[in-house]
Amino acid sequence: MPAVPRSAYIHVPFCRHRCGYCNFTLVAGRDDLIDAYLDALARELSWLEAPQPVDTLFFGGGTPTHLPAQGLERLLKLAKEWFPLADGYELSTEANPADLVGDSNAARCAVLRAEGVNRISLGVQSFRDAKLQLLERDHRQAEIEQAVERAREIAPSVSLDLIFGTPGETLRDWELDLRSALELRPQHVSTYGLTFERGTMFWNRLSHGQLARCDEELEGQMYELAIDLLTAAGYEHYEVSNFALPGHRCRHNEAYWTGQPYYAAGPGAARFVNGQREMNHRSTTTYISRVLGGESPVVEREQLPPEAAARERLVFALRRLEGIDRAEFARETGYRAEDLGGEALRHYVEMGLLEMTATRLRLTRRGLLVSDSIWPAFLK
């Protein structure tokens, strides 16, 4: 019998501005849709028929903290009504630094604190104003420390997102970003290499020669520098892109990486319940009109065959530095990792990209640098 989900994700699609590199499901400059979105979300959640207790509840976007205090309060109360939080819960929200600083944002911060948010993920991206301007972020270095202090007043766990490999960035530039983050001693740090996604403004600028990709070797050096500096400072490198002080891993994301089921609601939200994957329509206006019209917002639905589910779980689990327990994986999925991986797995082990012992399979340091190129071979 499939496990009952103990995690839930709520997608909040609103932003002040769409950054040039962003391809997430969002609308910018459409605050007129917020009330209708909340009405639609309330109706979609009501289709659960009964509250579903969870251990982790995550609000992502978009920018959840873009909502005004009243709307944010309604959002949080609504989600907790349908996803009651168990003892020892993790309640996370993504946040823009600019949404937490200054007297004008005090009410928003008070709502987050009053509603029990205990983990905040700040989209800092950089501590250098020139890089923030290139990335089209709406905050600057001077606001980051204030935002972190505000976040700490709200939640005991604060995470910082950082981007590396931007056009023209040097290894020294990236080192300064990392050291600036370490001075603030957040509980968690996520580092991501800049990607140029088709359909974004950055993709368009790249295609017209207005931007250039970071040198691949330099990007690898930046990633390794992050590993070295963060682990030396006491952070556990527990997933390809994620580092945490003891006791501060993102439990919600770990549910994804370990193949656990999860609920989700909102435009573009993807859920995994009873072995079935579903995705809602990415258009916020279409999502609203469908749900308020009594129609399902689901546009994709797939019941994964056992082997496909096992392959997907293998890839997600190998993103974690501890990899998989081979016997446990076989027992829970019905497939041995070495059979799923076949000749490709043996090849990557011989190349030193994967390490396979009698009990475990995991990425090596070299494998971390090229992990995205490994996964397609396991998903065939």
pLDDT in tens, 121-137: 999 999 999 999 999 99
Domain that holds residue 101: 7-257
CA 40 – CA 289 distance, rounded (Å): 8
Determine the pLDDT at residue 2. 66
Q: Is residue 270 part of a domain?
A: no
Determine the pLDDT at residue 1. 57
Determine the pLDDT at residue 306. 92
Nearest to 200 by CA among 321, 11, 364, 19: 19
pLDDT cut 70: percent of the chain above it:
99
329 with 317: CB under 8 angstroms?
yes
Regarding whether 200 and 143 lie in a shared domain, the answer is yes
CA 230 – CA 179 distance, rounded (Å): 9
Regarding whether 113 and 193 lie in a shared domain, the answer is yes
Residue 358 DSSP SS3:
coil
Nearest to 24 by CA among 227, 261, 192, 212: 192
Nearest to 230 by CA among 146, 147, 164, 136: 164
Low-confidence ranges of the chain (pLDDT < 70): 1-2
Regarding whether 310 and 215 lie in a shared domain, the answer is no
Regarding whether 313 and 249 lie in a shared domain, the answer is no
| φ, ψ of residue 222 in degrees (nearest 5) | -65, -45
What amino acid is encoded at 151 in this protein? A
Regarding whether 148 and 57 lie in a shared domain, the answer is yes
Q: Is residue 277 part of a domain?
A: no
Regarding whether 40 and 174 lie in a shared domain, the answer is yes
Q: Is residue 121 part of a domain?
A: yes
Domain finish residue from 257, 282, 315:
257
34 with 72: CB under 8 angstroms?
no
319 with 371: CB under 8 angstroms?
yes
Rg (alpha carbons) of the chain, rounded to whole number: 21
**For residue range 220-238, what is the model confidence (pLDDT) as tens digits?**
999 999 999 999 999 999 9
- Angle, CA 283 vertex, CA 50 and CA 19 arms, to 5°: 115
How does the average pLDDT of the chain come out, rounded?
Answer: 95
